[in-house]
Amino acid sequence: MKTNLTKLICGLALLGAAVTATAQGQLTWDWTFIDTSGGYNNLNGTLTTDAANGDGNYQITGITGNYYAGYSNLSGIIIGLDNTYRSPDNLLLADGSLDAAGLSFDDATTYMNIPYTGASGGPYSLYQYDVINGRDLGIVDVGTFTATIVPTPEPSTLALAGLGGLGMLWQLRRRK
């Protein structure tokens, strides 16, 4: 019975190590776009990226979030990345900024793109495309964009590895 328990603990430790190795390839970021020009569009949420590439930049693989358009008192939920509107590369630079191709995403009725443009009133522009009416609205706002890494908690991984180590030591002790 104790041998089976030891094998179970060792197996859980190895599984924990494998899951941690996979999860370390993905990073989570909090992001915001804050209006600086009076257009009243504010957006925020979470980005998921792959680990840094050779240039130290991050490929964005997922997005969630909310937006609020104060001028029309509308709000919505961002549902996913868009890889077509304004030809984005969905690349987050090493310093947490975006490049000129920007980040594109959508909700149920609108495609949005936030590229670095150096526009007056803010270094980022918010472009929108109205899907329902088939209209490109162009730049609807300028503002600031920030993204910061969300720390990944590791205590559970360490606990699993510790239990696995104890299980292996227990097994070695029993063999003597």
Q: Is the pTM of this model over 0.75?
A: no
Report pLDDT digits (tens) over 38-78.
878 899 999 999 999 999 999 999 999 999 987 677 789 99
Classify residue 176: in a domain, yes or no. Answer: no
Q: Please give the share of the chain, as a percent, with pLDDT higher than 90.
A: 57
Which DSSP state fits 151? P
Both structure tokens of 63: 């997005």
- State which residues form the domain around 131: 26-149
Does residue 1 form part of some domain? no
Q: What is the pLDDT of residue 18?
A: 44
Residue 116 lies in a domain: yes
pLDDT of residue 19: 46
Taking the C-alpha atoms of residue 43 and residue 58, their distance in angstroms, rounded to an integer, is 20
| Count of structural domains within the chain | 1
Report if residue 6 sits inside a domain: no
Confidence of residue 27 (pLDDT cuts 50, 70, 90): very high
pLDDT value at residue 153: 64
Examine the pLDDT at 111 and tell me if it is beyond 60. Answer: yes
User: So what's the pLDDT on residue 138?
Assistant: 93
Tell me, yes or no, whether 74 lies in a domain: yes
Cα 132 to Cα 162: distance, rounded to the nearest angstrom: 55
Asked, for residue 140, whether it belongs to a domain, the answer is yes
Question: Domain for residue 47, yes or no?
Answer: yes
The verdict on residue 75 lying in a domain is: yes
pLDDT of res. 20: 45
Examine the pLDDT at 14 and tell me if it is beyond 90.
no
Find the mean pLDDT for residues 103-107. Answer: 94
Does residue 150 carry a pLDDT above 50? yes
pLDDT for the residue numbered 22: 41
What's the chain's average pLDDT? 83
Flag whether pLDDT at 99 surpasses 50.
Answer: yes
**10 within 8 A of 164, measured Cβ to Cβ:** yes
The kind and range of the H/E element at 35 are strand 26-35
Between residues 108 and 17, which one has the greater pLDDT?
Answer: 108
pLDDT level of residue 32 (50, 70, 90 thresholds): very high
Instruction: Give the residue ranges of DSSP H helices in the chain.
Output: 2-23, 155-175
pLDDT at 126 over 70: yes
